[in-house]
A and B are shown apart, each in its own frame.
Chain A
């Protein structure tokens, strides 16, 4: 294992090939902290068996960047490679041992069908000289990036034992425009690496609190477009939407139940903010909390049996838990005088939340079993944490140089990265769940 110290301030710009320059709002990802013990891996530019240049280099670069970005891997620069094999039969393992590589990825792309591709790749253990896995994956021009992310997921899972989350997506809110006339607030859906940003709603008025449905096909969010807040549910792919809550007062903080049938909401129609559960199909509405304090920011446990929420019933905002069927409320956080906007890790063992440390608002993770709170971020105004669907990282919003940006941190706090958008203030990132298109095996 290399003895690299924590690699502070190593900046890795995701290269923008001409091909992707049209994605003007693409995120630039910088890894601001590295980690000891990351696994050395070489991803050789894939070969191309058709005419012209082909997509082989692009695919290998996406795979390499995904692995690097996870913080679990240290990838070998292409310029340092002693050979460029495209298939197992061409690999001399010596060439890679010399460079300290433990794993090697090679592959090639063939034209396939009309305008399609066949992407083949193999993953090797360099020291054992064995293939660990390999696949042939058909792809179209449109899903080449997605195919590369799937390959990265397969490699990640093979080498870490944990499911990858590269082929997932994120939603976030961006505010842009510098005059009253062109001020625009948009809800964006993008690939987890920030590419392919697509606006699904935009408004001159605030948009807030996007929440993915468990199947990854819908987003619930809050819009002030009518001069007061209402909760909408929008189908991500068709753009169709319906208004599900527009009561007097606050309509906010939507959160899907794990079965996708219900939305927890904050409504103040009865006087002050309380948590309600709306059955989206039947429109049946059930009140869950009853207190004169602010009760808001509900989030379901992965088993659907309980919800956590923010309440200042104890004087300051803290996290509480209530059974989904209603009943006795239990306080979960005692450390510090500000804990808010909690959400569960996919395995239900951790809560991530905003926690105040002195004057700074940071991202914390609470271990529900031990009760220990670990602070993961270092900003002054960090907010809106959201777990990756494999629980490996938390994405959140931070402020640096008076600009709001997205950042992600590994759950152990060792690897931190900034996702800097070129324009506008970015906030409220939410990581999508796995969807049916997240093939575990191709």
Chain B
């Protein structure tokens, strides 16, 4: 059983990082403008010069040296404030959104597995909102940022130890 779980981890991690909620089409539900308009997880990548020339001259999003390449923000236990070591990353994303008002982003909030599930959905939302607020403070528009909380339902690391939990307490920024 353990072996099986170990093999899932990298696959799951990849799926979460790369795929995210890319499969989500534009939402058709009633009256919330924020969540409509296609999440466009492809937007950042397809507009980039990387497709043509293999360089990132067109978009800082594809520059591995840019803080924008960091898309996972980790949190301390039972906390939704953004850690000092991640503030610059979130600020950079906020500035990028402010400079590119057609770009939209989904911020997913996640928690570790401890405690009750629906309460964790609440905690995950708080984390996603903390990221969103800091982005808005950089001049990004409300309509550019959709938040979704998965609570503990989509762990990055399987396992029930502090190392796995630390990885799972996170917000993911998905372009």
CB <8 Å contact, A297 and B35: no
CB <8 Å contact, B122 and A294: yes
CB <8 Å contact, B14 and A180: yes
CB <8 Å contact, B118 and A354: no
CB <8 Å contact, A338 and B125: no
CB <8 Å contact, A384 and B117: yes
CB <8 Å contact, B24 and A227: yes
CB <8 Å contact, B148 and A294: no
The digit string for A188-211, where 1 denotes a CB below 8 A from any CB of B, is 000000000000000000101100
The chain A residue sitting closest to B18, CB to CB, is A180
The digit string for B148-162, where 1 denotes a CB below 8 A from any CB of A, is 111101100011100
A272 contacts across to B, CB distance below 8 A = 122, 125-126
B99 at the A interface (CB under 8 A): no
- The distance in angstroms between the C-alpha atoms of A402 and B34, with both chains bound, is 39
The chain A residue sitting closest to B159, CB to CB, is A402
CB <8 Å contact, B116 and A252: no
CB <8 Å contact, B24 and A226: yes
- The distance in angstroms between the C-alpha atoms of A127 and B14, with both chains bound, is 67
Which of B3-11, B58-66, B89-97 contacts its partner? B3-11
- The distance in angstroms between the C-alpha atoms of A159 and B27, with both chains bound, is 56
CB <8 Å contact, A401 and B113: no
CB <8 Å contact, B118 and A209: yes
CB <8 Å contact, B160 and A294: no
A164 at the B interface (CB under 8 A): no
A403 contacts across to B, CB distance below 8 A = 1
A246 at the B interface (CB under 8 A): yes
CB <8 Å contact, B2 and A250: no
| Shortest distance from the beta carbon of A289 to any chain B beta carbon, whole Å | 12
The digit string for A7-44, where 1 denotes a CB below 8 A from any CB of B, is 00000000000000000000000000000000000000
The digit string for A395-426, where 1 denotes a CB below 8 A from any CB of B, is 00001011100000000000000000000000
Partner of A383, one of B11, B116, B147: B116
- The distance in angstroms between the C-alpha atoms of A370 and B134, with both chains bound, is 46
- The distance in angstroms between the C-alpha atoms of A273 and B123, with both chains bound, is 10
| Shortest distance from the beta carbon of B77 to any chain A beta carbon, whole Å | 11
The chain A residue sitting closest to B36, CB to CB, is A248
CB <8 Å contact, B125 and A341: no
B148 contacts across to A, CB distance below 8 A = 227-229
- The distance in angstroms between the C-alpha atoms of A179 and B11, with both chains bound, is 7
B32 at the A interface (CB under 8 A): yes
CB <8 Å contact, A253 and B24: no
| Shortest distance from the beta carbon of B89 to any chain A beta carbon, whole Å | 24
CB <8 Å contact, A296 and B12: no
CB <8 Å contact, B117 and A208: yes
| Shortest distance from the beta carbon of B164 to any chain A beta carbon, whole Å | 10
The chain A residue sitting closest to B34, CB to CB, is A248
B32 contacts across to A, CB distance below 8 A = 247-248, 269
A228 contacts across to B, CB distance below 8 A = 21, 24, 27, 35, 148
Q: A180-B15, A402-B159 are in contact. Are A383 and B117 (CB under 8 A)?
A: yes
- 10 A-B contacts (beta carbon < 8 Å): A227-B39, A228-B35, A247-B29, A294-B119, A310-B116, A310-B118, A381-B113, A399-B160, A402-B158, A427-B117
B residues engaging A (CB < 8 A)? 1-2, 4-5, 7-8, 11-12, 14-15, 19, 21, 23-24, 27, 29-30, 32, 34-35, 39, 113-119, 121-123, 125-126, 147-151, 153-154, 158-160
